[in-house]
């Protein structure tokens, strides 16, 4: 039998050990919990693309649900994003080439400075597809956009077929668009296989999360 004094020492050691374990492991547990929450909200291939309503430069309201029945390339971008600037001319070309076949590009700008920087860029690049300004609601709906560009290629059924973070090749995008248009014409579902990025995505400014 231990004396009361020794039991108090053992109890103190046990409490100190528990406190140390909580201090060391607490952040790890919290991180794992946070990752699990984010994973449960992540928008992955084969899942339905969340609907949203956002405003364009003239105050008009654009709703994703209005484009159901079309193949949609949904691109989260910003005027300061280098890889975004590389792929935008491709999107302009896709819009010209495939629009009549039931395809559209939708651009969601994540620029913190809003239309004062978006409008000059759209005019200079002669962007021919709808551009809307993103907000925290759509950011959360799409699992938290942490990097730009992030692009969802959506089939006519409204489900995400392909998801890209970072820059992928023009040929990959074109192949995916044609697969979805062909599958839609044949009444078939296209395989949902995300492609690898050619460039690493640009990490999104943390301040956006506080907007």
What are the pLDDT digits (tens) for 85-139? 999 999 999 999 999 999 999 999 999 999 999 999 999 999 999 999 999 999 9
pTM for the whole structure: 0.73
- Specify whether 162 is located in the same domain as 117: yes
What are the pLDDT digits (tens) for 4-62? 555 454 455 545 554 554 455 444 444 444 344 344 445 556 689 999 999 999 999 99
Residue 46 lies in a domain: no
- Specify whether 76 is located in the same domain as 19: no
Residue 114, domain extent: 53-210
Q: How many domains does the chain contain in total?
A: 2
Residue 205 lies in a domain: yes
- Specify whether 186 is located in the same domain as 206: yes
CATH (domain of 148): 3.40.30.10
Q: Mind giving me the DSSP string for the chain?
A: ---HHHHHHHHHHHHHHHHHHHHHHHHHHHHHHHHHHHHHH---TTSBPPP-EEE-TTS-EEEGGGGTTSEEEEEEE-TT-HHHHHHHHHHHHHHHHHGGGTEEEEEEE--TTTHHHHHHHHHHHT--S-EEE--HHHHHHTT---EESEEEEE-TTSBEEEEEES---HHHHHHHHHHHHHHHHHT-PPP--PPPPSSPPEEPPGGGGG-
- Specify whether 4 is located in the same domain as 65: no
- Specify whether 91 is located in the same domain as 23: no
- Specify whether 143 is located in the same domain as 193: yes
- Specify whether 58 is located in the same domain as 142: yes
């Amino acid at each position: 039998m231990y004396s009361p004094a020794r039991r108090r020492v053992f109890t103190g050691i046990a409490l100190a050990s528990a406190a140390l374990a909580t201090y060391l492991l607490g952040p790890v547990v919290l991180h794992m919990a946070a990752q699990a929450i984010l994973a449960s909200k992540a928008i992955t291939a084969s899942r339905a693309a969340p609907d949203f309503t956002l405003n364009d430069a003239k105050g008009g309201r654009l709703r994703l649900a209005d484009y159901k029945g079309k193949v949609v390339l949904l691109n989260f971008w910003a005027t300061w994003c280098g890889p975004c600037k590389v792929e935008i001319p491709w999107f302009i070309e896709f819009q010209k080439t495939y629009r009549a076949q039931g395809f559209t590009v939708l651009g969601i700008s994540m620029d913190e400075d809003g239309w004062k920087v978006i409008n000059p860029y759209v005019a200079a690049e002669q962007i021919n597809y709808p551009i809307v300004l993103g907000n925290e609601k759509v950011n959360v709906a799409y699992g938290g956009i942490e990097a730009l560009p992030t692009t969802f290629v959506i089939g006519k059924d409204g489900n995400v077929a392909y998801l890209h973070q970072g820059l992928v090749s023009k040929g990959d995008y074109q192949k995916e668009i044609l697969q979805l248009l062909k599958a839609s014409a044949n009444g078939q579902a296209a395989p949902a296989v995300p492609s690898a990025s050619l460039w690493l995505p640009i990490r999104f400014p943390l301040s956006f999360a506080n907007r």
